Amino acid sequence: MGDLTTLYKAVFPLPDLDATSALGARIAAQLGVGDTVALQGDLGAGKTTLARAILTALGVDEAVPSPTFTLVQGYDTPRLSISHFDLYRLKSPREMDELGLEEALETGAALIEWPERAEGRLPADRLTVELNLQDYGRRATLSGPARWQALT
């Protein structure tokens, strides 16, 4: 599950789509079964764009819609199954229990947009990516267990 006593933290400027794609590829390269990537940020901050970049780097060549209305979309990649969750429409953190996160993590990894709506129902060893709009584009602040240090 990772070393929870030592935290990794790094900031990546994302001035354009190429930088976002590069960060997505770095995250994808480190993903394994049981991993959760929590994508935080305001509307338009780039959560779905980064999720698409991660999925593309894993070999998904189909269109990757935002799962806002379906809440979860599954992808089988050559290396690993990915469940892409969008929790924006959750009315209560209890609804998280019905979405199958635990099952998804038993066989693959999860990308979760709007993770703050799950209030304590996400794995403690997740990688959190906070996206913010800046004058020059976007900025991603990553934090998580020390094993994510390889992203830097």
The answer, yes or no, to whether residue 100 has pLDDT greater than 70, is yes
The CATH number of whichever domain residue 129 belongs to comes to: 3.40.50.300
Mean of per-residue pLDDT scores for the chain: 89
pTM above 0.75, yes or no: yes
Burial grade of 92 (CB within 10 A; 0-12, 13-18, 19 or more):
exposed
Q: What is the pLDDT of residues 36-89, one digit of tens each?
A: 999 999 988 899 999 999 999 999 988 887 776 678 899 999 999 999 999 998
Residue 26's domain comprises 15-91+101-144
Is residue 8 a part of any domain in this protein?
A: no
Give residue 90's pLDDT. 85
Q: Which residues contact 37 (CB under 8 A, 6 or more apart)?
A: 27, 31, 54, 109, 110, 111, 112, 126, 127, 129
